[in-house]
């Protein structure tokens, strides 16, 4: 299956954390786009609403992507960095904030339509809680579900990929794991609501990502999008793909094929101290290498999975990797 590779534009800009507000100089948007277009195999870009694109800049951005032969892969509404959502967006206890988040997402959906982009990738990072006995789990989850259902019903021609993450910026996220995210997608009753699996978020959640891919498949082909990065599982380190979870990525790509996923493989990294374009390019090179291993050993891998012998699998991996 031919892969389609993309990157989130902001990965090429400034990086910061709670200790240092700026590790790099933030390039103008057009310069970041040009840098992305030069990365081998990258043919698509994800844009964060307000950061990268707004209603008044949509035409300009559309022309820039066309000129650089880049597709707009998804629009990501900024429901996480605007301090109006400091205690939640769709699940805020304040009904005015909830409505603000819905109205803002409508604008992002309009942008997605104008850009000819099918996916709106929703990561409601501030929707969750920090302390016990502070959250109304029942009401807040209902508000979250109702908001997504309303938006998805209004824009039935778009796909809404819900991205989950167990923690950060809140200590607990409402969309934390594949299971609760698939449950919410099901509760919306909207066929155009599915999931985005971010591999690093799934590692952080303690998941075996290949199994999560199968769960999304069994839930009714609900895997709408993929984000790729790596980490040490304790935190969302957003590292180069394959730098830690080498064997996991072989299994991830194998099961993406078996489940018939034909969407984008999008790099979502945060290269604090590395050259951004270089880090993204390395991630794709790792994925290409893994795909080469799979394509030349697919029947062997089929057989190994059928046998279920850990020793035989270890021998196979040692030979193909080393």
Domains of the chain: 4-321 (3.20.20.150)
Rounded distance, CA 295 to CA 214, Å? 20
- Three-state DSSP class for 149? helix
Which pLDDT value is given to residue 322? 87
Predicted confidence (pLDDT) at residue 109 exceeds the cutoff of 80: yes
Give pLDDT tens digits for 264-292. 999 999 999 999 999 999 999 999 999 99
Give pLDDT tens digits for 110-120. 999 999 999 99
Q: Average pLDDT in the 154-173 region?
A: 98
Q: Pairing between strand 128-129 and 172-173?
A: antiparallel
Predicted confidence (pLDDT) at residue 26 exceeds the cutoff of 90: no
Rounded distance, CA 140 to CA 57, Å? 34
- Three-state DSSP class for 159? strand
**CB–CB of 119/158 below 8 Å?**
yes
Predicted confidence (pLDDT) at residue 222 exceeds the cutoff of 70: yes
Which pLDDT value is given to residue 144? 98
Rounded distance, CA 10 to CA 46, Å? 9
Rounded distance, CA 240 to CA 271, Å? 8
**CB–CB of 112/122 below 8 Å?**
no
Predicted confidence (pLDDT) at residue 244 exceeds the cutoff of 80: yes
Rounded distance, CA 153 to CA 105, Å? 13
Q: Average pLDDT in the 215-219 region?
A: 98
């Amino acid at each position: 299956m031919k892969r389609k590779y993309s990157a989130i534009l902001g990965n090429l800009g400034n990086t910061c954390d709670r200790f240092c507000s700026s590790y790099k100089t933030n390039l103008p948007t057009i310069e970041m786009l040009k840098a992305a277009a030069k990365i081998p195999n990258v043919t698509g870009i994800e844009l964060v609403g307000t950061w990268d694109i707004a209603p008044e800049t949509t035409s300009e951005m559309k022309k820039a992507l066309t000129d650089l032969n880049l597709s707009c892969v998804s629009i990501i509404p900024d429901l996480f960095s605007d301090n109006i959502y400091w205690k939640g967006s769709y699940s805020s206890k304040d009904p005015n904030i909830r409505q603000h988040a819905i109205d803002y997402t409508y604008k992002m959906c309009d942008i997605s339509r104008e850009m000819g982009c099918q996916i709106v990738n929703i990561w409601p990072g501030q929707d969750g809680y920090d302390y016990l006995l502070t959250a109304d789990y029942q009401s807040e989850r209902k508000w979250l579900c109702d908001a997504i259902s309303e938006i998805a019903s209004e824009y039935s021609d778009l796909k809404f990929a819900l991205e989950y993450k167990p923690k950060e910026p809140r200590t607990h996220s409402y969309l934390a794991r594949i299971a609760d995210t698939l449950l919410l997608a099901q509760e919306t009753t909207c066929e155009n609501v599915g999931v985005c699996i971010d591999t690093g978020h799934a590692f952080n959640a303690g998941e075996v990502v290949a199994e999560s891919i199968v769960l999304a498949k069994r839930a009714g082909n609900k895997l709408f999008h993929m984000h790729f990065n790596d980490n040490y599982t304790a935190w969302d380190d957003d590292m180069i793909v394959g730098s830690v979870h080498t064997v996991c990525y072989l299994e991830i790509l194998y099961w993406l094929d078996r489940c018939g996923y034909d969407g984008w493989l999008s790099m979502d990294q945060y290269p604090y101290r590395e050259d951004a374009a270089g880090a993204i390019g390395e991630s794709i090179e790792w994925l290409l290498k893994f795909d080469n291993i799979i394509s030349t050993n697919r029947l062997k891998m089929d057989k190994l999975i059928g046998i279920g012998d850990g020793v035989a699998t270890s021998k196979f991996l040692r030979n193909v990797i080393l």
